[in-house]
Structure formats: C-alpha cells, structure tokens
Chain A
Amino acid sequence: MTMTSLKKTSQLQVTVAITKRGLMRMRRLPSLMIPSIIMPIFFVVAFSGSFSSVVELDGYSTDKAVNWMAAWAILQGSAFSGLGGGGLTATDLENGFFDRMRAAPITPSALISGLVGYSVTRAVLPTTAVLIVSFVALDADMPGGLFGFVIAYFTAIGIAAVMSLFVLGIVFTMKTLKSLAIAQVVMFSTMFLSVGQAPLEAIQGWLYHVAKYNPITHVIRMGRQGFLGDVTWAETQPGFISLTLLLIGSGLWARACYQKVDI
C-alpha cells in the first residue's frame, strides 16, 4: 500500500526532527524539565536519609542506603521523563498542532519514534543529576565500575522508552492534558509495587507476590547491580528480557491507540 511508498530515509529524518523539536521546546521552557530533575534528586537524598538504616536488614547486600536508593531515584526520574512525549502530544492535540503532523505524509511509527526519542533523551538529564548528587554529596559506591554506569544509563533509557510508549497510548486515547494525571498514577503505582525501595527478601505479604512477578522488578535489578557489586549476565538477563517484552508490549499498545486519533 501507499505507506511503503514513503522513503525509509526520510522517515528517519522525521523521527529525528520530532525528537529535536521536543528537546528545543524543553530548552526554551525550562519549567517543563526542572521538576523532573529536582524530584529524583530529592528522592535520592530523602530515601537515603530517611531509610539509612534499612540496609542493615537482609537482602540489601550493601552497607550504604544510597547505593540502593540511587538506582531507585534514577528509574523514578526516567519514568517521569517518559511523560515528556505524552505531554508534548497532549499539548499538540489540544491546540491542533498534531493535525499539522498528521496531514503530512509520515508514518505513525516515525511520529511515535520521534516522541519516544524525545522522552528518552530527556531521561539522560535526571539520571546524570542523580549520579552526580549520589557520588559527590552522598558518597555512593560503584563496585561494578564502568559497566555499572553503562547498565544504569541503559536501564534508565529503557524505562523512559517503555513509560513514554505507555503514556502515549493513554494520550492518544483520551487526547487531553488531564490524561497525564491518570498515566502518572498507573506509572508510579507500577514502579512502587516492585523492589524499588526494598529487596524481595525484606518484603512481606501481598506485595511480595506482586513485586516478585512485576517485570519492573527485574529491570530495576538490572539497572542497580553496578551499585551493589559486579555487573553479571545472570543479573542482566531477566531484566533485559523483561525490558524487551515491556518495550514490545507498550509499543504495540501505543501503535494500537494511535488508531483512535485517526477517527
């Protein structure tokens, strides 16, 4: 059909252009970005401070709370960054700019990829900010070395992409800025019901079972491993598989919901 007549190279340029537009807006309207940097910084400070003693319990396998909480704050921050593409789309849908893009010969995938690209690039900022605060002010360790940093960034980007696709689906369906509030509730609930703040060994009751089967649990473990010890394939594999499945699932969800814009 006609979609195939759209050149692949030009669609890649479309993706890049949409990503760039998001980043440019962010630069010009810093209030879009500041909360998503401040919030994770506060999280790492507050969680490491309030819960400094919990690492004495079994399962934390570190003697400093910051080593546990830094990854949690990074992933919270990148989940929050995932709202970026959805927020931009909701604004565009409300003021009609989205029609301009839809009236152009671009594929939905190029458009969605561009928006995800924006969210993902955003996630680098809070991740870096949390890492700086953790190491400079809170004396964090990274026994996993360079690989530890790489895997932390990789996971942060992965979570931002998954959340971005999930939020886009909701925004495509509801078409309002208000829908972001709903997306946030679901997003943060999913994050909280995991090993974000405490290891599985420390969790009791219903949450133990929820956290155990929550794919985010594996993803957080993957991103956190460098703070606790060496980076290993055994600790990476479940997270990597979960992240891949989450990406496929949220990608299909976003693509399916896009049809609802096209009424």
Chain B
Amino acid sequence: MSNPIEAENLTRTFGDLVAVNSINLTVEEGEVFGFLGPNGAGKSTAVRMLTTLLKPTGGSATVAGFDVASEASMVRKKIGVALQDAAIDPLMTGNELLRLQAVLHGISRHGGKERCAELLERVGLTAAGDKRVGTYSGGMRRRLDLALSLVHQPKVLFLDEPTTGLDPTSRVALWEEVRTLNKEIGTTVFLTTQYLEEADQLAQRIAIIDNGRIVREGTPTKLKSDVGAPTLRVDVVESDYEIAKQVMRKLGEERPARKGRIAIGLDGGTRAITAVLKSLEEQNIEVQHVELDEPSLDDVFADATGRRLEGGADT
C-alpha cells in the first residue's frame, strides 16, 4: 500500500516564475503533516496541485494512491479540501452547503441528511445550520469549511491555512478539532500554515518551503535539535555595537537578529553566558538586555533561509 501523499520532483511554473521547484514529499498514513512557509513561498500552489486544482508542469504526485494529473477524479473522491479564505456562498445556509457538498460527492440524499446533521453537531454549528453563511463569524466559517471537507469521509484532508485571520480562541478550537479528527478517525492531514506555533502544535512532521523549494523536513523535535545550540541574544548601547559583535563572534556562531541586537549560538548553558558577559565587560561594553532561547521552529526557518518568518519569535 502506497503512502497517502507522495510527490516526486513536483514542479509548477507560471511563465518565468517557478512557484514550486521540484519538491519531493512523503506523507505517511495517519499523520498530520505541516507545510510551513511565508506568504508566497509556494504553499498554496503545491496544495492546489496535490488537490488536482492545478496541473503540475513537471514531476508527479500521487494522493491516496492515484496520480493527481491522470486520475484526478479518483483523487477527488478520496480527499477533503478546505481552501484558504474559505470559499463559501454567503447566500446559502450551512445546511444547504453541506447537502450540496454531499451531492457533489455522490452521497445519496438519505445518507447525506444524516451525515450533515452529524457534521454540524461535530463542529458545533447545529444551532446555526439553517442560518445564512453570510451571518457567520470568521471562526464559524472555518468550522463549516472543515465540516464541508469531511462530508464524504476523506482518506486525506488538506487544510490550506485553516486559521489565517482567526482570533486566538477560534484558532485553538480549530486545532482541537483537527487533533480529534486525526486521533479518532485516523484521517491523514496535510496542513499548510505560516504560523510556527500552529505547525509546532499540530504537526507530527514538518516541511519548510521557501521560494518554491523544500529547505528542511522532519519532526519538529529533530529539526530543532539539528539547528544546534540555543541562541543567546544580547542588546548593547549603539556605540558599542560593533565591538560587542566582534567579541561575541569569537564565542559562538553568529545568528540572524533584529537591528541593534546580537545573537549567537551558544552551548554550555548559564556558565557559558557568564563567560560571554565577562568578555563584554572586559571591553567596557554596557549590556542592556540578555536572553537565552532554546531553538524554535523559527530558528529552524532562520537557519534554513537566513530570514525570520513573519509572526515568528522576537529576535
């Protein structure tokens, strides 16, 4: 039995622009796979190819064992898709949308009715089921979108930036729902996100995409430990900045940091910090702020691309 998602050298170009550049992916049965990257990195293009909405210009991919290009309708039967900016008709009610979705997936009228009620219950929209979607809040829309993508009990679920634009409470509620789905039913989930926390919280494995290429792949723990030592960040007065930088460079590998701040990788815990501070003091450098951070996914991203992700940790 093949894996739920396999991509080999999957590529998509738009004219001269290479949106997705020869990516290789394997997502295993029953896992939540996080696809992390900044806006415009190629996440949505990759998802659109895997969900048969966009034809690859190179390479190939199979989803649920079927080729996304030549066996598109078999793939469509097996997958659930909740796309970015939940495309929902505001004039229809939640119930009507679910029924339409059921018909689109060939579920009989009788079976559809029960299934829709069950799904509304599941995402907590039973009371709002007969209200027009135009009256729903952002969080309700996303939950409805999730319910819609589950109508036909898909083997693989694609969630494209499911929480972008949601308030923190709705975001956590949606995470909980995805976790339950994955645990109880064993649905394989392919999740794209630009939020580090989201990937960290939900995904068992992560791929980081930047400029159309996958730059890192693995479990969050493994990716973090691969980055190596924790990061030491030091703020100094502006006039001392250049000297401080020289001093610190000698003590550890320099890492990207915001303006006016110096960051290095530092093994050896608190004792090592003392050593750094001592060296700085010897040069009469006035230290304003010190912090030590275990590596985060943001550091993984920074390590791979040399940039920080928007909304990432304060560097």
Interfacial residues, chain A to chain B (CB-CB below 8 A): 1-3, 5-7, 10, 13-14, 17, 21, 24-25, 28-29, 92, 95-107, 262-263
Contact = CB atoms under 8 A, between A and B. Distances in A.
Contacts of A107: 73
Contacts of B92: 21, 24-25
Interface of B: 51-55, 66, 70-74, 76-77, 79, 81, 83, 85, 87-89, 91-92, 96, 99-101, 103-106, 109, 132, 148
A103 B81 CA distance: 7
Given A97-B89, A102-B53, A17 B104 contact: yes
Contact of B79 (A98, A99, A103, A106): A103
Given A99-B53, A100-B87, A104-B101, 14 more contacts: A2-B66, A2-B71, A6-B73, A95-B87, A96-B87, A99-B87, A100-B81, A100-B104, A103-B79, A103-B83, A104-B105, A105-B74, A105-B77, A105-B106
Contact of A24 (B51, B76, B96): B96
B106 A7 contact: yes
Contacts of B55: 262-263
A256 B230 CA distance: 58
A103 B53 contact: yes
A1 to B, nearest CB: 8
Candidate in B55, B74, B79 with the most chain A CB atoms within 10 angstroms: B74
A100 B148 contact: yes
A106 B73 CA distance: 7
The residue in A3, A13, A25 that gathers the most chain B C-beta atoms within 10 A of its C-beta is: A13
A263 B49 CA distance: 10
A17 B100 contact: yes
A2 B73 contact: yes
Contacts of A98: 87
A2 B74 contact: yes
Contacts of A104: 76, 101, 104-105
A6 B51 CA distance: 18
A172 to B, nearest CB: 15
A29 B91 contact: yes
Contact of A13 (B51, B89, B103): B103
